[in-house]
Structure 1
Amino acid sequence: MADASDGTQQAARNPAGEVVELCRELIRIDTSNYGDDSGPGERKAAEYVAALLDEVGIESTLVEGTPGRTSVVARWGGTEGDGLLLHGHLDVVPAAAEDWQVDPFSGEIQDGYVWGRGAVDMKDFDAMLLSIVRDRQRNGRVPSRPITLCFTADEEAGGHQGAQEIVEDHPELLEGCTDAVGEVGGFSATVRSRRVYLVEAAEKGMAWMRLTSRGRAGHGSMINRENAVTSLAGAVARIGAYEWPVRLTPAMRTLLAAVGELAGTEATPENAEELVQEFGGAARMMGAVIRNTCNPTMLGAGYKVNVIPTEATAHVDGRFLPGFEDEFFATLAELVGEDVEIDYVSHQQPWETPYGGDLVDAMTRSILAEDDDAIVAPYLMSGGTDAKHFRKLGMRSYGFAPLRLPADLDFTALFHGVDERVPVDALEFGARVFDRFLDDV
């Protein structure tokens, strides 16, 4: 629980007061991550965050293993109980301005939304944390539980120069933290006219792979039975066409049971895909978390049309469910075949945290206090977050960046998408909910 404050301080409080402007300012700082250190880095954003914390008397540490790839860590809160890590990332995926209705780094407000790269992934949550923390610090509402605030670099490229660096090289900055709360959870999806708030309690593992086929070089006009392109293309086609079977993890069993109750049916593996369709546009993401997935994403071979190359390569994005890793890699080996080599660009394990306990209860209460007709349930995240790294230190992890969203908004399509945007009122709602959450942890 938070320290008590007098009535005057409480009346003056406004945890959502800065959230919109802070989100806009963060969007305006271009932190595009191309995955190869060619972007602007996160240093400017990290310094901005550190200055905001310093302004209210919270000292922070900048962590920078590679010049410009900068994370921020700060200690806050009291000394009662185990520590809680609240984490967000500062980098964003690139955006092609010509594809957007607005400048992706303008932070423009239009039609009740804040527009820009990072509006939902995840400068919105960074802004929520900063707005809440600054308001609480000013008003003497510092949580009694020790809190570590962490704003990381490089999450969009696997977190190797951000969260991983902190965990491996500076674990003392996270000392005492037993629980972690980060992104991609707590947002609402409308199912049969009811808002269902999805708390991330699990993530798929990640296998970013480079496939390489080697053959015999030769003239393009001649017969060649050792064509590297042909061999690779066959492997890529088999991977892309494979239908992975439905597999339900504990988090998804719980979620689909809640959806089944709304739909008047019992959730089973056989009707899981039908129940996933109840999520509308979000079914693209939900359909990916009831099975393993593997998608070819890049191809490379040759240098002239009439020359058969010695080597051909492809990149594949593989994601595997907790508990089904062995099945994933055994199937992948069969699909690829013996003539194609597999190297890992990034290989990270899946995770699942039991959905229950004081932290989950606090999340549920904080949502219901602002939306009393809501349903709160766990889900499994199709992508990856920095939680994969922080869990190496034994932390229980959840994704809880609360947003109450319009029923007709295809929210999941905005992650890494064109015209990324977040409703202004959803940002303010999220700040109020998370502020209540901090009262209860």
Structure 2
Amino acid sequence: MTSIRINEARVTQILQDLVRIPSVNPNFEGGVPERDMADYVEAFLSRLGLASERREVRPDRPNVIGILPGISADAPGLLLEAHMDTVQIANMTIDPYGAEIRDGKLYGRGACDTKASLAAMLAALEWFVENGIKPPVPVYLAATVDEEVNFLGVLDVLESGHRLAAAVVGEPTGLHAVVAHKGVVRCMIETIGVSAHSSKPEEGVNAISGMMKVVHHIDRTMSERLQGAFHPLVGRPTLSVTEITGGVAPNTIPERCLIKIDRRTVPGEDSDQVWREIQEELTRFAQEDGTLKLIVHPPFVLDYAMDTSPDSEIVRLVTAKAAEKIGEVRTHGVPYGTDASKLTRVGIPSVVFGPGSIDQAHTKDEWVELKQVALAAEIIAGTMLAFGK
């Protein structure tokens, strides 16, 4: 049996390089395209002598897909996928790009979510090349854009034409295996009133007052109706009002009010159908009220729940290799979403796995334990070596 040992200092160096490259998603304040991150990954793969494909998902926002050939060259491959974008850096209490190391932890934006996973994957590829070892099947490493907003990167991977048997999707899971997570439907709801001077409110129709009825219906009726549903790994579906805007001046009856809602779906629910049900429910509510005028806008985010069988080869291998390093490994579900749901939806069994804790993701002092990053690299390499045998 081949022994896999990956140098922690080397993985740390890769992670420091990645954290020092700003890659805040352009949809957030202070965001930049992921181009510089893609340049780094592309150069890394080139140095290893591996072929790679640069795919412009949006201007200056490319995916990079590297290919490590396998013994069975024509077999469907194993995908290693990790996103390059991060959330915003506002209000951070550390240098977001300093990649400072203290007490065995590396600090910086994206250190945990999810540049640590990407660093582990790159280090695993490097180990195979430097040791002259081929995995049983081809391994594709996809460094993707836009996971934090619209999942454009992973959707582009599905259009790349590569035949994929399974996937490891990098996210901070503490080296445990996530096999299920929720989906999400986010949309805007708008109430329409009639503007008037606030000294004569009877001459107008207050859109904010109308929205109060809508919010009450969402919180008391639609949300409570979901309490009967339950998934053993991810819990209950939820519905929340998350933003509200309305009015133009303190002395004007508002003619517009807008809310955003977040509906989390569970495995077994279809997000498209959930969206249609929301639209139908609120349209019917307005008609029954008789005074409400509202618009339910199409979703600006629509994603699907993910559910992979714990008995699938990729889950069994990842959990077995992780157990060799950390002992007991949990196979569980989480309430947040990942790129994995897009892969499982088209029949690619996927496991979400990586170093770090979701509790550190997006925080003001984001960090990851370096020992975990090195262990993740060894676990991923072990999975690559065993998958498809």
TM-score normalized by the length of structure 2: 0.86
- In the TM superposition, what are the counterparts of 1:184-263 in structure 2 within 5 Å? 184=171, 186-187=173-174, 197=176, 199-224=177-202, 226-240=205-219, 242-243=223-224, 244-245=226-227, 247-249=229-231, 252=233
8 A contact 2:64–2:143 mirrored in 1: yes
Residue 166 of structure 2, aligned match among 179, 202, 205: 179
Per the alignment, residue 78 of structure 2 pairs with 84
- Give the distance between the partners of 1:100 and 1:65, measured in 2 at CA: 29
Matched AA of 2:156: E
Cα deviation for residue 394 of structure 1 reads 2.5
Structure 1 unmatched runs, 5+: 189-196, 253-288, 404-410
8 A contact 1:33–1:156 mirrored in 2: yes
Residue 341 of structure 1, aligned match among 278, 283, 295: 295
8 A contact 1:16–1:128 mirrored in 2: no
Q: Bigger shift: 425-434 or 204-213?
A: 425-434
When the two chains are superposed, the root-mean-square deviation of aligned CA atoms in Å is 2.6
Deviations 1:350-403 (A, max 9, x none): 23122213222211211121123x143232x32222223333542112112145
Deviations 1:81-129 (A, max 9, x none): 4311110000001111xx3331112111123211111112110100000
The secondary structure found in structure 2 opposite 1:233 is helix
- Give the distance between the partners of 2:378 and 2:157, measured in 1 at CA: 30
- Give the distance between the partners of 1:77 and 1:319, measured in 2 at CA: 39
The secondary structure found in structure 2 opposite 1:239 is helix
Residue 63 of structure 1, aligned match among 21, 37, 55: 55
8 A contact 2:25–2:31 mirrored in 1: yes
Cα deviation for residue 138 of structure 1 reads 1.0
- In the TM superposition, what are the counterparts of 1:79-228 in structure 2 within 5 Å? 79-80=71-72, 81-96=75-90, 99-160=91-152, 162-167=153-158, 170-172=159-161, 175-184=162-171, 186-187=173-174, 197=176, 199-224=177-202, 226-228=205-207
Q: Bigger shift: 390-399 or 105-114?
A: 390-399
8 A contact 2:242–2:261 mirrored in 1: yes
Per the alignment, residue 375 of structure 2 pairs with 429
Deviations 1:241-299 (A, max 9, x none): 6444164335x1xxxxxxxxxxxxxxxxxxxxxxxxxxxxxxxxxxxx31112222222
Counterparts in 2 of 1:63 and 1:38: CA distance versus 1, 3 Å: farther
TM-score normalized by the length of structure 1: 0.77
- Give the distance between the partners of 1:346 and 1:179, measured in 2 at CA: 25
8 A contact 1:34–1:93 mirrored in 2: no
* Same amino acid, percent of matched pairs: 26
- Give the distance between the partners of 1:148 and 1:401, measured in 2 at CA: 17
- Give the distance between the partners of 2:248 and 2:363, measured in 1 at CA: 32
Matched AA of 1:165: D
Residue 301 in 1 paired to residue 288 in 2?
Answer: no
The secondary structure found in structure 2 opposite 1:427 is helix
- In the TM superposition, what are the counterparts of 1:345-384 in structure 2 within 5 Å? 345-372=300-327, 374-379=328-333, 381-384=334-337
8 A contact 2:105–2:369 mirrored in 1: yes
- In the TM superposition, what are the counterparts of 1:26-45 in structure 2 within 5 Å? 26-35=18-27, 39-45=31-37
The secondary structure found in structure 2 opposite 1:322 is coil
8 A contact 1:34–1:94 mirrored in 2: no
8 A contact 1:15–1:435 mirrored in 2: no
- Give the distance between the partners of 1:110 and 1:183, measured in 2 at CA: 24
The secondary structure found in structure 1 opposite 2:209 is helix
The secondary structure found in structure 2 opposite 1:383 is coil
Cα deviation for residue 37 of structure 1 reads 9.8
Per the alignment, residue 398 of structure 1 pairs with 351
Cα deviation for residue 223 of structure 1 reads 2.8
Deviations 1:177-230 (A, max 9, x none): 021110336426xxxxxxxx3x22122121111111111111122234731112
8 A contact 2:244–2:260 mirrored in 1: yes
- Give the distance between the partners of 1:366 and 1:102, measured in 2 at CA: 34
